[in-house]
Amino acid sequence: MRTIAFITGNAHKVMEASEILSGSGIRLRQMDLELEEPQADDVCDVAMACALRGASMLRRPVLVEDSGLFVSALGGFPGPYSS
């Protein structure tokens, strides 16, 4: 079984992702690292930067999840800046 570090402080996210991956031969291990998130207009850019930084720090494969709140009436604002 392959283990991938899931960088998050949210244990519920790890449980949910583990359920999705059950039977795939992939096990997730929660790692709560304080990664500085870059300011970007796209959540994919934020997640990619954090994944690269985390993989470099841990020297192993990692999974990072990032999301935003996109309100249509506000033209997508606040988007990735919601936190």
Instruction: Encode pLDDT of 28-39 as tens digits.
Output: 999 999 888 888
- Which residues are part of the catalytic machinery? 66
Q: Looking at the predicted structure, is the pLDDT value of residue 83 above 80? A: no
Residues paired with 29 in a beta bridge: 5
Q: Which two tokens stand for residue 33?
A: 């690292």
Q: What is the pLDDT of residue 12?
A: 95
Tell me the whole-structure pTM to 2 decimals.
0.80
Averaged pLDDT for residues 27-54: 90
Average pLDDT over the chain reads 91
Task: Tell me the per-residue pLDDT of 55-77, one tens digit each, with 9 for 90 and over.
Answer: 999 999 999 988 888 899 999 88
Higher pLDDT, 36 or 50: 50
Please name each of the domains of the chain with its CATH number.
2-79 (3.90.950.10)
Q: How far apart are CA 17 and CA 15, in angstroms?
A: 6
